[in-house]
Amino acid sequence: MKLKNTKLLLDIMRRCQTGEARIKGMLPPETEVYHKTGTIGGTTNDVGFIELSGEAGEAATVVFIKEAKIETEESEKIIAQISRSIYDYFLFNNYY
């Protein structure tokens, strides 16, 4: 039962159509991302899993920007930059 629910949740997250400029924003286009976004007031976030290339596995990524004094688009760029840094770090440091 747990595996079935996990597959369902990941499928829902994979099909997320919001936040294209967040976790996915600076990743290679073919990178599979399972994520869920959120935006309310001055809070912008994205949480999910990034599939790394080859046999490198996945990286869990959670970025919350709370009480931002900048526009949402700027917060999205910051999330994208952090996500790309996570992607590069785990992909190129052979932790698999």
Rounded Cα–Cα distance for residues 65 and 23 (Å): 13
DSSP class of 67: S
Summarize pLDDT for 34-61 with one digit per residue, the tens. Answer: 999 999 989 999 999 999 988 888 999 9
Predicted pLDDT of residue 72: 95
pLDDT at 76: 97
Give me the domains of the chain, ranges plus CATH numbers.
2-92 (3.30.160)
64: helix, coil or strand? strand
pLDDT of residue 30 exceeding 80 = yes
pLDDT at 96 over 60: no
